Amino acid sequence: PESAEYFSQVIGTTKTTKYTERKKKGILSEHDTGDASAREVDEFIIHPNKFKSQLGVGEGVMVIPHEYGSRTVSLKFKMFDDMAEEPMPEAEKEVAGPLSILEPNLEQSPQNKKRRMNESA
């Protein structure tokens, strides 16, 4: 769900006009009053619901940028048969010997070398 919102926001919005009509509730039904209004709204170029539930297997959306902006197109890829299964060759392995932890040679450490040089000077 979050990724659908993200991709819709990345693709962007377009300006469109939204119309609303006023209705009056009657005893058995609603009646149009004839009053209407129009307003400009931002609308997703690709609505998040398209990503969530309307794209099938092998379908997608691609944004093609060009010098005047971008164009969004829907894609549907052809299905291919599964590839034949290839057995993996057996890998040669060497058995590792036991591991042991070596204590660092404190006499060879850079700090001790520096200390010994200072003592001999």
Annotated domain spans of the chain: 2-76
The Cα 51–Cα 44 span in angstroms is: 12
Beta bridge partners of 20: 37
Smallest CA-to-CA distance from 54 within 74, 79, 72 is with: 74
Rounded to 5°, angle at Cα 79 from 54 and 46: 25
Per residue in 53-107, pLDDT tens? 899 889 999 999 899 988 999 999 998 888 899 999 998 888 877 776 666 665 6
Task: Give 56-61's long-range contacts (Cβ < 8 A, gap of 24+).
Answer: 61/7, 61/11
| Each residue's pLDDT tens digit, 6-28 | 999 999 999 999 999 888 888 88
Report field, pTM of the whole predicted structure over 0.95: no
